[in-house]
Structure 1
């Protein structure tokens, strides 16, 4: 406070105005930034929602198509094939070939039999003696019969269907069959004979690489470093740019609280925009989640499509706006402060200094330190102009009064010399401006009147009479 009180008035004014100006512009910048951020967030939500829904609908349609194809194939096999016939294997083979040749995302189909077939084809037998007819295709035009592999019998979805006699959509897995490796999801359904006995399990593998190739195509990128991924309801990763984490649980890979919250949304079949920290890159991102059901209600399978975008990318326009606001604010503040400085200096500080110097000069004049005093040149009719005019009037009046007093004192001194020379008729004629000097003048003149009345008007004549 002492520091502030010691500052000059101009400095105080500029400081206070600059402070409130800076505070006002800062508050305005914060409000504008918030509004811009809200608008960007709204736009991001719409963009991510539209993209996520598009991908989710695409994935759901193709997975539903695969499930529908499997269930249709199931009906065809059950109603057109007698498993006891000797050529049942060939009929099933042709059906599996047609399924693969006409399926967009399937590359492997099979029928696992609970009992041996009449056909004695070594390609149907695994090393452990299980009977499996399996077909594989790489080009979607020529599905070929494969050697049966015990690895097929170890598929979790197949085991579930064998135990429960219910259809199943398995979890994303890295599968290895007869030297062929592929990422896939096993869809299974039981096959029953005419007596209602389960005699086989029909299986179809959804090729996740085909799904990934479409979803992760760079031409679909809407933001730099955006991530598109597909999750099962329990958090198993089906599609992700990092292929080495396919089939793993996101909860184990990403311990960040935002990931746990995201998985809760997926488990609860939710939808919306959420904060998220990406696995691997640790980018603080915005993620839109859309869950969707696959197949029939009996399958009770829900997956989720997630599209994320880094905050520093999506909010880059906001950073540009903030930089522009900051630079503009700085320029405006500097211009306004310069204008205030110029105005304060010309309209206040310089004029106050003139008043100060005039008063100092006047006080030196009053204290007989100087015989000169200057008045203020009035340039404006504002408060300072009125103050200057009052000072000028008082300087003039004081100068006139002092001059009048000087003349009265000089005349009093002349009167005193005449009295000293013997002339008691001499009087002080000049009237001073000072009331006290006026009173003194009257007292002296009255005293001279009394002396003249009692002893005469010429002391020299009185002295001569006494001397004679």
Structure 2
């Protein structure tokens, strides 16, 4: 659709598009800049306001901390100087603290046993004494008057007592609701440890009403619907426009991620900007949270401000709307101006277009004369029309000359088309390009004439004859050009080549016939050689088998001889063992002979003793008769022992003789086994020599067999080569015959019939 529009309309739409885009971008930039500036200004204001209120709240709480520290210092000084206040004086001092500070609703004192005052059991349970009679007073505001709690109210289990005693520094409790003057209001307790000689002996504390802070912050207004609030690090809401929030945990009221982030920033004492939807106004709001630490307690509170986006960005929205309206008005005005001038531009462009269309019709041969552009104004369009008309006249004149030149070119190219290249272009025009083209064509024709001659038809006829294998025709060297002269040279070369091919073909034909016959003889001889080699191989294999059999039998003989040698060695060892045994027997026999000699001597002495005993018995008469009988028996035993010793001696002598004979026989056997062993060694050497010789023969025979196998393989390969050579010779013969046949098909100078 955009392509079919006129230039003026395209220009109008293009300018309007650019204008609208520029207005949109400008409006966006102005709004963005205004938004950032407004946001920055609002942030600065919120930071200043939050800091101001946070400092005021911090100052109010820290006044109480300073006050309780002063009260504690007074008591510590009294302890140090051993000055003891009376109980009414102490209560009066505590009451004065309440009277001078309207935001303090209670003052209390916790003392360790027997500190300041001795325990008084008689006061147990009365006048702020505990069950053990310890005095720990608590003065409280109540409906405009000051009351001393009669029953003991201060319990050590409370965190505002335990924490100061544990940490040794001031403690601020989490806000809690407490009835003051008949109303349930938020309170917080500030307590600090009481020291005596660097030991904690008690805790001093005050109860602070947060009602004034709550009212002040709850009434705080930021723009129309913005508000402030106070939170503790534990999430307790101290102040908020909605009273239902007071004393409650924020995490219970708003369970989301931003709540966790708020509490985390208060604990870490970091400020925070964030966006959320306020549950109080139900509007998208921008928030700032400032944090502060109360005294040296380490307790952090946060003061926050929340304002709806539509209010704190009100100036930015106003600037945005103004920018949009101003942009729309300026765009409409510029569009009207553009439309008026575009209409004028369109009418003049239509006139110029009509004149150019007439000129283009002339160029396309639709009309004979072009029309001039009729614009008489002296503006840019009038000057452009005059310039176009002058150029049209000049172009028309040049076109006529160029037409004549082109006709001359057609004639020359027609002559070239018929194969005649000696014609040239003679006419010229005002166009440098056409004149240059004319010169280029003439130079091309001249170069072409020098290259192919003045008549291409003659050249074509000669080439057709050559393609028909007729090389007998010749060109004229003077009129044929460089290409014709090259063809003449080529014709001479082809004639000589064909003559040589004819001669080479016949020679090759004769040589291939002789080669074929020689290859046949070579093949027959190779076949005979193969037959002889096979017979030789069979004979060598038989010899090799006989040698292997002889070698095997020699090995068997060597094994038998080795067994005989082993047996002889074993026999020799047994003979040595027998001789040694004989020597041992002789030694034993000698020992027996010595023992028999001793026995014989003992028998002889026993016989003498028995005779002496018999004599003594006879001398004794009747008393020695029994002893005589014993002596006779002893003599008999001695005689039998002597006879037995003689018999054993004879047997031992006989055994000694036989043992000596056995030793002689054993020595003879040892000599025989030595001779047998030497003979077996000599036999083994001979068998080993025969076996080695057989192995050498076998190796030689194997080498001969391998050589014959190689010869057989070479002979087979030669046979194959001979067969291939025969095939090649046959193929060469066919090729040579084909060459001669092909040469005979050509007609050339010097051809042999």
Work out the CA distance in 1 between the residues paired with 2:137 and 2:69: 18
The alpha-carbon distance between structure 1 residues 153 and 334, as it changes in their structure 2 partners (threshold 3 A), is farther
Aligned to 2:250: 250
Q: 1:161–1:188: 8 Å Cα contact kept in structure 2?
A: yes
Aligned pairs (5 A) from 1:7-406: 7-80=5-78, 88-112=86-110, 119=123, 122=126, 124=128, 133-137=137-141, 142-146=145-149, 148=151, 155-161=158-164, 167-176=170-179, 181-191=184-194, 196=199, 198=201, 200-218=202-220, 221-271=221-271, 273-296=273-296, 299-346=297-344, 348-354=345-351, 376-383=374-381, 386-387=384-385, 390=388
Q: 2:168–2:193: 8 Å Cα contact kept in structure 1?
A: yes
Quick check: which one's helix share is greater?
A: 2
The alpha-carbon distance between structure 1 residues 231 and 363, as it changes in their structure 2 partners (threshold 3 A), is closer
The alpha-carbon distance between structure 1 residues 37 and 112, as it changes in their structure 2 partners (threshold 3 A), is same
| CA shift digits 1:232-281 (9 cap, x unpaired) | 23433222222322333334433444443333322221236444543433
| Structure 2: gaps (5+ residues) | 114-118, 397-753
Work out the CA distance in 1 between the residues paired with 2:210 and 2:251: 21
The alpha-carbon distance between structure 1 residues 73 and 17, as it changes in their structure 2 partners (threshold 3 A), is same
| CA shift digits 1:146-181 (9 cap, x unpaired) | 455869777543454466675421111123589652
The alpha-carbon distance between structure 1 residues 178 and 43, as it changes in their structure 2 partners (threshold 3 A), is closer
Q: CA deviation at 1:321?
A: 0.2
Q: 2:372–2:389: 8 Å Cα contact kept in structure 1?
A: no
The alpha-carbon distance between structure 1 residues 190 and 148, as it changes in their structure 2 partners (threshold 3 A), is farther
Q: CA deviation at 1:30?
A: 1.8
SS in structure 1 of the partner of residue 137 of structure 2: strand
Work out the CA distance in 1 between the residues paired with 2:155 and 2:211: 19
TM norm structure 1? 0.68
Q: 2:230–2:304: 8 Å Cα contact kept in structure 1?
A: yes
Q: CA deviation at 1:313?
A: 0.8
Work out the CA distance in 2 between the residues paired with 1:213 and 1:255: 26
User: Aligned Cα RMSD in Å?
Assistant: 4.2
Work out the CA distance in 2 between the residues paired with 1:194 and 1:362: 120
Q: 2:172–2:190: 8 Å Cα contact kept in structure 1?
A: yes
Work out the CA distance in 2 between the residues paired with 1:308 and 1:191: 42
SS in structure 1 of the partner of residue 374 of structure 2: coil
| CA shift digits 1:66-101 (9 cap, x unpaired) | 11111221222344479x999844233212211112
Aligned to 1:415: none
| CA shift digits 1:360-392 (9 cap, x unpaired) | 99999x999xxxx99735335224662378469
The alpha-carbon distance between structure 1 residues 181 and 163, as it changes in their structure 2 partners (threshold 3 A), is farther
Q: CA deviation at 1:332?
A: 0.5
TM norm structure 2? 0.44
Aligned to 2:521: none
Q: 1:235–1:250: 8 Å Cα contact kept in structure 2?
A: yes
Work out the CA distance in 1 between the residues paired with 2:388 and 2:84: 129
Look at both structures and tell me which one has the larger radius of gyration over its CA atoms. Answer: 2
SS in structure 1 of the partner of residue 224 of structure 2: coil
| CA shift digits 1:27-71 (9 cap, x unpaired) | 122222222222222222221222112112111111111111112
SS in structure 1 of the partner of residue 290 of structure 2: strand
Aligned pairs (5 A) from 1:367-446: 376-383=374-381, 386-387=384-385, 390=388
Work out the CA distance in 2 between the residues paired with 1:148 and 1:40: 60
Q: CA deviation at 1:330?
A: 0.4
- Structure with the bigger RCO (C-alpha within 8 Å, sep 6+) is 1
Work out the CA distance in 2 between the residues paired with 1:225 and 1:295: 33
Work out the CA distance in 2 between the residues paired with 1:197 and 1:354: 110
